[in-house]
């Protein structure tokens, strides 16, 4: 197909959904109260707590109230930017302490290497923070795969179901949409990207219902 760039989702695409929902999210939920109480004065944490208070519309919210709000967002799998930033900081400690490694399907690791070697520029677009994305690929089951990637996008560029997010990504990539392939397991994300003419493929690894996009059971079935 000769795409110039491939943009990949993580959860359900390069990585098993259960690694995110049964390893990463519970780890962040468990560590969150102590992490926030101990580090609320640290600049990178304080900045995110301020953003949470703004979203709560409670500028004076206590740490307990913030923790309860964050736990509710985790339970509801809300893709809220300051939550995602804080989760990334907690996962940083988890990876550093060897509590887990980043799950990657073998076909994803193999094909990402092959496509990059062929000259395709690789990007990640995930609701996880850029730091969380880089951690997962740096500490992956297949070693440090961060050298494969040319860039990372998270919710700071916009939500994954918003057309405007893909327009902003195209601005960064500087390739015509037809030369960019976006792969994800979520039809609404693919719908948004394809409205701009970006090529799409839906991963159906975990029994996801197919939409109207080309489908692939794994990365071997994707022609790049």
Binding stretches for Mg ion (CB under 5 A): 9, 11-12, 185
Q: Which residue's CB is nearer to ligand L4RZE5RM, number 20 or number 190?
A: 20
- Phi and psi at 7, nearest 5°, equal -110, 125
Contacts with ligand L4RZE5RM, residue ranges (CB under 6 A): 9-11, 20, 24, 79, 84, 126-128, 132-133, 136, 160
Q: Which residue's CB is nearer to ligand L4RZE5RM, number 89 or number 136?
A: 136
- Which does residue 192 bind out of ligand L4RZE5RM, Mg ion, none, counting CB within 5 to 8 angstroms by kind? none
* Least distance to ligand L4RZE5RM, CB of residue 220, Å: 21
Confirm if 104 and 145 have CB atoms less than 8 A apart: yes
* Least distance to ligand L4RZE5RM, CB of residue 62, Å: 26
Confirm if 167 and 196 have CB atoms less than 8 A apart: yes
User: Using DSSP, how many helices (H) and how many strands (E) does the chain show?
Assistant: 9, 6
Q: Which residue's CB is nearer to ligand L4RZE5RM, number 90 or number 222?
A: 90
* Least distance to Mg ion, CB of residue 203, Å: 8
* Least distance to Mg ion, CB of residue 54, Å: 27
- The separation between CA 80 and the C-alpha centre of its own chain, rounded to angstroms, equals 12
Measured CA to CA, the distance from residue 208 to residue 50 in angstroms comes to: 37
Q: Which residue's CB is nearer to ligand L4RZE5RM, number 9 or number 194?
A: 9
Q: What's the sign of the alpha-carbon dihedral 60, 62, 63, 67?
A: negative
- Phi and psi at 36, nearest 5°, equal -70, -45
- The encoded tokens of residue 219 equal 């990365």
């Amino acid at each position: 197909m000769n795409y110039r760039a491939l943009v990949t989702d993580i959860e359900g695409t390069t990585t098993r959904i259960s690694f995110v929902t049964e390893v990463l999210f519970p780890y962040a939920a468990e560590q969150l109260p102590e992490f926030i109480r101990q580090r609320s004065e640290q600049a990178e944490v304080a900045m995110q707590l301020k953003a949470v208070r703004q979203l709560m519309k409670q500028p004076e919210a206590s740490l307990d109230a913030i923790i309860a709000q964050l736990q509710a967002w985790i339970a509801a799998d809300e893709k809220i930017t300051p939550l995602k930033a804080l989760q990334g900081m907690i996962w940083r400690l988890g990876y550093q302490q060897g509590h887990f490694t980043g799950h990657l399907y073998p076909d994803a690791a193999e094909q990402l290497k092959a496509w990059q070697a062929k000259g395709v520029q690789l990007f990640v677009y995930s609701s996880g923070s850029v730091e969380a994305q880089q951690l997962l690929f740096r500490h992956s089951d297949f070693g440090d795969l961060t050298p494969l990637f040319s860039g990372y996008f998270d919710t700071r560029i916009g939500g994954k179901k918003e057309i405007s997010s893909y327009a902003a990504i195209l601005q960064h990539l500087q390739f015509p949409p037809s030369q960019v392939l976006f792969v994800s397991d979520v039809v609404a994300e693919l719908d948004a990207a394809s409205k701009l003419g970006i090529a799409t493929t839906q991963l159906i690894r975990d029994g996801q219902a197919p939409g109207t996009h080309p489908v692939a059971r794994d990365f071997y079935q994707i022609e790049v």
